Structure 1
Amino acid sequence: MANSKGRRRRFGSVRKLPSGRFQARYRGPDGLMRTADTTFATQTDADRWLVKQEAKILDGDWTNPDVKIAFGDFARSWFKDRDYAATTRERNAGVLNRHILPTFRAVPLREITTPQVRRWRTDLLDAGVGPATVSKAYQVLRAIMNTAVDDGLIERNPCRVKGAGTVTHTERPFLSVPEVYRLADAVPPHCRALVLLAAFAVLRFGELAALQRRDIDVEARTVSVRRSYSETRTDGLTVKAPKSAAGVRTVAFPASLVPELAHHLAEHAEAGRTGLVFVGARGGVLRRNNFRRIWLRALTATGLGDVHFHDLRHTGNTLAATGGATTRELMQRMGHSSVRAALVYQHLVNGRDHEIADYVDGQIRKVKRPPRGPSGT
């Protein structure tokens, strides 16, 4: 084929339009002439586009641009292939069904544009959807469209709205040691140690609910995290390993908690090495929704306001940081792994982790609370 200057091309053709821009065409595997759905500022840009189309044909990755794949169909297939944890799958399914599909379900992938994405995002915010939820919806949409690019179904991702995938989070509250104990005093006795471990050993609720007697070494003052409970509408209550290798860990707890835990194990935990440490009011697994009602009543009783259970972890981490814990030590203690580097943080040596726990213990003892012994006095 010849280009606009008469030079023969091995694949496709480029011609200059009256506007000064360049148009690229090629013959597809189906024998039909295909014209680029956009024009190019330079002939070099048009040539590069043709090279990409030829490569797709040679590699067997070419798709017929006349075949219109609806976003909803592709999104369902994309979602099915994701290897999500149960809670993440349920959360992202909700975002997809409530905030993305109502707008884009029937729209062909190739017809979704950046202005459409920008308008969709603005409409969600105007409708009162929270910024964090809108940011999450944008992230899911962008991930779906990235896969469409990788599959050769679209040329480029239309999710190009600057800053749309990020949200500024409000700093969560840090509780003082007396406030932690006020909350521990306000919950039923079988939940008291749970509040204290959440704050001073920085465990997640699911990790606490899955603890077994064998996981707590009162003499060594350590708690080992090996599993976690999660609960979704789809899968119900499931027990699993922590979501990352860093989540499997052993954490030292302050000496002030020894009598508290000894009392709890004697009075409230299930029997046997594999017996649950924390159980519901009627036995069995302590369910998150049931504990939430307990937590809200405790907040009302203490007047502490908008405090999330997860803020106890933030409190414990802040206490440890104040005691001189390094970033690596904090990451290990909380069971976090870096999302920006393929680095597995090494485990703390026992002595150093106990130093951190001892500092936290010192902050607890400043409150001068008499320890609760096995007799409950």
Structure 2
Amino acid sequence: MGNSAAVGLNFELVELRQVSFRAYAEKWVEERELAPLTQDLYLYLIDKHLFAFADLDLDEITAPRVREWRAERLRLTGAKTITAKAYRLLKAIMETAVDDELITRNPCRIKGAGKKKAAERRIATVDQVDALANAVGMRWRLMVYLGAYGPLRPEELAGLWRRDVDLDNLRLRVRLAEPERMNGRRVLGDTKSEAGTRTVILPAFLRRELRWHLESYAEPGPDGLLFVGEKGAPFRRSTFGRKWRKAREAVGMPEGFRFYDLRHTGHTLSTRSGATLKDTMVRAGQSSEKAALIYQHSDEERQEEVAAGLDATVRKAREEAARKTAETPSGTNLARGQ
């Protein structure tokens, strides 16, 4: 959001008082190269959370008004995270207005207002991942496993084709992403970042799941989608979301546990199985300017070791669960004193 390049609006001949925040903000979003979901988010924030400034001229947005707006949003909604996002967007837009010489100083000067410490993400146990995969149904169980043990993002799963799957060597080639926008339309495009384009080596216990899915549910042909709905339509977030919520309830997982939290589960298990932070970043396709200073190359051989370690961790957890189940006396045997 911090890009302060001029938006190129023809405000030179317009009085400051005639430049409304809404017109400027929408143009600000329009003239940036944003991912579709990011563009949707910014327009949503402008419409639903920055509406208090919509009809104001840019020079009417003062520091006291920004403080009052933030305090009111927090008081009425208690939504600290979304309020912080809205504040960051407002600050970025107004910073560009300063560069465009439409205002003399950015009115967003509240220290720490754009920061929100993320809550500790929930993780699932191996048993819970298995239970979720069973509860969501045969067509979608592989999606649960790839979300946890890939770990792949939902939009990456939606963009997988048959030719991206190497069953013999247990590899998935992540090349594309198909996020679903707020209007329900899917957008075929690049992965979230350059690091998102990657080869994921899967743990060996997923071979049977992957083969079964390819034989039973994936579209035919090299360009056939890996995940399609019951009626042959491409994966839809809304449709899968309903199935996910039912599966989560059936398993007894907390309401706040999202499909995306499976990625955190995968990170945690990989680390426990011996992967370094560098390895997990490569595996999950994450990158940032800060991460670029920390995470170096993780070669394919090391990724095979990570996958093997993950395989051993899951197998051990399953065997332990099965052993405990076998050792638990049945109600009949207890009644008999056995």
Q: Same fold (TM over 0.5)?
A: yes
Q: Tell me the amino acid that sits aligned with residue 203 of structure 1.
A: L
Structure 1 unaligned residues grouped into runs of 5+? 1-61, 371-377
Higher relative contact order, structure no. (Cα contacts within 8 Å, ≥ 6 residues apart): 2
1:328: how far off?
Answer: 2.1
- Partner of residue 146 from structure 1, selected from 95, 99, 105: 95
Does the 8 Å CA contact 1:207/1:225 hold for their aligned counterparts? yes
Match of 2:226 among 258, 277, 294: 277
Q: 1:243 maps to what in 2?
A: 192
Match for residue 42 of structure 2?
A: 92
Q: 1:83 to 1:129 in 2, by over 3 A?
A: farther
State whether structure 2 residue 241 is matched by structure 1 residue 292.
Answer: yes
How far is 1:343 from its partner? 6.1
Correspondence list, 1:1-377, <5 A: 67-68=16-17, 69-100=19-50, 102-234=51-183, 236-306=185-255, 307-340=257-290, 347-366=297-316, 367-368=318-319
Deviations 1:322-345 (CA, angstroms, capped at 9, x unpaired) = 223222222111111114366695
CA separation of 1:233 and 1:201: change in aligned 2, threshold 3 A: closer
Amino acid at match of 2:166: D
The Cα of 1:67 is off from its aligned counterpart by: 3.5
Number of residue-to-residue matches in the alignment: 309
Question: Are 2:87 and 2:114, in contact at CA under 8 Å, matched by a contact in 1?
Answer: yes
**1:265 is paired with a residue of what secondary structure?**
helix
Matched-pair contact (CA < 8 Å) for 2:228–2:235: yes
- Post-superposition Cα deviations, 1:6-33, rounded to whole Å, max 9, x if no partner, equal xxxxxxxxxxxxxxxxxxxxxxxxxxxx
Amino acid at match of 1:292: G
> Cα deviation per residue 1:260-288 (whole Å; 9 max; x = unaligned)?
11111111111111111111111121111
* 2-structure distance, mates of 1:257, 1:178: 15
Q: Which amino acid aligns with 2:313?
A: Q
> Which amino acid is the alignment partner of residue 206 of structure 2?
L
CA offset digits 1:118-162 (Å, max 9, x no partner): 110001111115111111110110011010111112222110111
> CA 1:176–1:282 in 2, change beyond 3 Å: closer, same or farther?
same
**Seq. identity, %:** 41
- Give the SS at the match of 1:229: coil
Unaligned runs of 5+ in 2: 1-10, 323-338
Partner Cα separation in structure 2 for residue 191 and residue 65 of structure 1? 56
Q: Report the AA paired with residue 241 of structure 1.
A: D
CA 1:235/1:281 → structure 2, altered by over 3 Å: closer, same or farther?
closer
The answer (yes or no) to whether the contact 1:86–1:235 under 8 Å persists in 2 is no
> Alpha-carbon deviations, 1:73-111, whole Å to 9, x = none?
3222212212211111111101101111x3112322223
Deviations 1:23-81 (A, max 9, x none): xxxxxxxxxxxxxxxxxxxxxxxxxxxxxxxxxxxxxxx96896322222322221221
Counterpart amino acid of 1:207?
A: E
Which has a greater percent of strand?
A: 1
- TM normalised by structure 2 equals 0.86
Other structure's SS at 1:250 match: strand
Q: Distance in 1 between matches of 2:46 and 2:81?
A: 14
Question: Separation in 1 of the partners of 2:113 and 2:35?
Answer: 25
SS in structure 1 opposite 2:229? coil
- Distance in 2 between residues matched to 1:240 and 1:170, nearest whole Å: 30
Report deviation, 1:346: 5.2
Q: Which has the larger radius of gyration?
A: 1
Query: Aligned pair in 2 of structure 1 residues 169, 67: CA closer, same or farther (>3 Å)?
Result: closer
Answer 1 or 2: which has greater helix percent: 2
- Classify the secondary structure of the residue corresponding to 1:196: helix
In 2, Cα distance between the equivalents of 1:71 and 1:88? 20
In 2, the alpha carbon distance for the partners of 1:76 and 1:194 equals: 36
Q: Is the 8 A contact 1:212 1:275 kept in 2?
A: yes
Q: CA deviation at 1:319?
A: 1.0
Greater mean alpha carbon deviation, residues 71-80 or residues 341-350:
341-350
TM-score by length of structure 1 reads: 0.77
Are the aligned partners of 2:158 and 2:179 in contact in 1 as well (CA < 8 Å)?
Answer: no
SS of the residue aligned with 1:228? coil
